[in-house]
Structure 1
Amino acid sequence: MKRIRISAVVILSSALLFSSCASFNKTQKGGAIGAVGGGAMGAIIGKVAGNTGLGAIIGAAVGGATGAVIGHKMDKQAAEIAKTVPDAKVERVGEGIVVEFSSNVLFGFDSSNLSADAKVNLDKLVKILNVYPDTDIEVQGHTDSKGSQSYNQSLSENRAGEVSGYLFNNGISNNRIRTKGFGENMPKYDNNTENGRSQNRRVEFLITANEKMKTESEKEVVK
C-alpha cells in the first residue's frame, strides 16, 4: 500500500509539473523541471514513464534561471543536430537533448557491428558534438522483447559500446561518454506490433550540460 501511495504521489506531481509547463517553451521548461526535479525524482519519473532519457536528463538538471540559460544553449545545439543528421530523431527534453537512432540505421540485423551508413551518420553527429564540447553524452542501447532477456541485454550493451567506441575514436573525449545497455527493459514503443518492435531496437544519445557549462551558465545569470 505504501508503494502505491508513493507511486501515486510521484505520478500526480509529474502530471502537475508538466501540465503547468504546457505553455512554456523548451528553454523555460528546462528551468522549471530542474527546479523541482533532482536526481532522485528524475530516476523515479524515468522509471514510471518508461523513458530513461527523460529520467536521466531530469536527474541532471540544474533548474531555475541557470537551467533556463542551459536550455537556450541546448535549443541551438538540438536545431543543428536535427538539420545535420536527418536520419536521427532529435528531441529537446528539459535541459538536455535526446538523439534517437533506429538500430537499423546503425547496425545490420542481430549485429553489433556498425554499418557503413552508420559511420556516415555518426560522423555528422560527431561534428556537432565537437562544436559543443561542454556537454556529457550517455549512449544507451535498447532492444525489442524478442529473444531471451539475457541475450537482449548483451546485444544492447555491445551496440552501445560499439557506438561509444566510435565516438571516442573520432575525437570525443572519453570523459564525456557514459555507456549503458537496457536490453528490452525500457521500451518506448509497443512491442506487440512489428513497427513498435522495430522502433524499440534503438540507440539513444542523452546530451546534458557538464560542470563547465553549468558554471558558465550560472555566471551568465549573475551578470
Structure 2
Amino acid sequence: MRNQLMVLAVASGLALTGCATDPNTGEQRLNKAAIGTLAGAAGGAVISKATGGGSTGRDAAIGAALGTGVGYYMERQAKQLEQQMAGTGVVVTPNANGNIDLVMPGNITFSFDNATLSSSFKPTLDKLASTMNQYNQNSITIAGHTDSKGSASYNQGLSRDRAYSVADYLTARGVASSRINVVAYGQSRPIADNNTEYGRQQNRRVELTVNAPNSVR
C-alpha cells in the first residue's frame, strides 16, 4: 500500500506541471509530457514489482522521468511538424497512443492511378525528412491506401507502390531505412464513402505514423 501511494505521489507531482487549460472549454487537460510521466511512473513501478525490487517508489520516479522525456520529445516534434506541414494539405494529428499521425491525401502526392511522387509534393517531403533526421529516435510506419475503384489485388499493389515511393524518398534524404516500416492496405480501410468522388479522394492517401520511442537518448 505504501509503495502504491508513493507511485501516485511521484506521478501526480510530475504530471501536474503538464496540466493546461483548454481555452475553448476551460477544462484541464494533460499534454503529451504529462501523459508520458504517468505512463513512465506506472511502468517503472510494475517493473520493480515484477523483479522483486524493494524500491518501487524510486523506480516509479525513474520511470516517470523517462516518460516525461519521451512525452516532451514527441510534443516538440509534433509542434514542429504542424508548423512545417501548415498549408501543404498534410494533416498532422498527435494520437492517444503518444504517436504522431500524418495523412497525405492522394491528390497532392500522386497523379491518378500512379505511384510516382508529384514534383510539387517533394519540397514537403524534404521538410518532413529534415525533421525525421533531427528527431532520429523514432521508428516510422508508412501505410498506403486506395479507393475501391478497380480490383482489390490491383489496389493492394498500388497502395504498396505509393507507400514505398514515400519511404524511398525519405531514405534518399537521409532517413535510415532501418527506421521505416512499409505496409499496404489497398482498399480495405476506407475513411470515407467510396460511392462519392469526394469520399474516394479521401480514401486515396498515404498515412505516416511517427512512433513514440520507449526512451530518448
Whether the TM-score (by the shorter chain) exceeds 0.5 is yes
Counterpart in the other structure of 1:44: none
Gaps of 5+ in 1: 1-21, 37-63, 218-223
* Aligned-pair identity (%): 39
8 Å contact from structure 2 (residues 145, 205) kept in 1: yes
Calculate the TM-score normalised by the size of structure 2. Answer: 0.69
CA distance in 2, matches of 1:104, 1:35: 43
2:91 matched to which residue of 1? Answer: 89
Does structure 1 residue 167 correspond to structure 2 residue 170? yes
Note the C-alpha offset of 1:133: 0.7
1:90 maps to amino acid: V
Measure, in 1, the Cα distance between the counterparts of 2:188 and 2:91: 21
Give the corresponding residue for 2:74: 74
Tell which structure's C-alpha radius of gyration is larger.
2
* Alpha carbons of structure 1 residues 98 and 32: separation in structure 2 relative to 1, 3 Å: farther
- RMSD over aligned CA atoms reads 2.4
Matches within 5 A, 1:147-158: 147-158=150-161
SS at match of 1:203: strand
The count of aligned residue pairs is 166
- Alignment-mate amino acid for residue 177 of structure 2: N
Taking a change above 3 Å as real, the CA distance of residues 139 and 180 of structure 1, as seen in their structure-2 partners, is same
CA distance in 2, matches of 1:188, 1:30: 29
| 2:117 alignment partner in structure 1 | 114
Paired letter, 1:74: M
Question: Deviations along 1:37-58, whole A, 9 cap, x unmatched?
Answer: xxxxxxxxxxxxxxxxxxxxxx
What TM-score does the superposition give when structure 1 sets the normalisation length?
A: 0.67
Give the CA deviation at 1:120: 1.3
**1:197 aligned onto 2:200:** yes
Higher relative contact order (CA 8 A, sep 6+): 1
More helix by share: 1
Structure 2 unmatched runs, 5+: 1-26, 43-62
Aligned-partner residue type, residue 169 of structure 1? A
Alignment partners' CA distance in 1, 2:165 and 2:197: 25
2:130 paired residue number:
127
Q: In the alignment, is the contact (CA less than 8 A) between 1:68 and 1:95 conserved in 2?
A: no
The structural deviation recorded for 1:70 is 2.0
Trace 1:1-223 onto structure 2 (pairs within 5 A): 24-27=29-32, 28-29=34-35, 65=64, 66-86=66-86, 87=88, 88-93=90-95, 94-210=97-213, 214-216=214-216
Q: Distance in 2 between matches of 1:180 and 1:35?
A: 33
